[in-house]
Amino acid sequence: MKLHVAKWGNSLAVRLPAECVRAAGLRDGDSVEAEVTPAGEITLTPAGTFNRAAFLARIRKRRAAMPLTEATVEPLREKARY
């Protein structure tokens, strides 16, 4: 779905269609969390109470996208103090 970006004060805004708002269960005054991927994709998620399982799943997904290789780990080990 293509949406229009418009100026709103000193910021930019995107208006969400009613069908998206209903599908996400959002109401006027609700908060959403925005996440931007390294590829530039924006994800909006309804902000709710802290969900530990969802948080850990997001961390695992991000960690998998940034694997540590020997070239990265070795210099860190050399500077480590034990």
Mean pLDDT over 66-72 rounds to 71
**13, 23 contact by CB (below 8 A):** no
Most confident of 8-12, 48-52, 78-82: 8-12
pTM of the model as a whole: 0.49
Q: What is the mean pLDDT of residues 56-77?
A: 80
Q: In the chain, what are the domains? A: 5-79 (2.10.260.10)
- Among candidates 12, 18, 14, which has minimal Cα distance to 2? 14
Span 13-41, pLDDT tens digits:
999 999 999 988 888 888 899 999 889 99
Residue type, 48: G
More confident residue, 1 or 11: 11
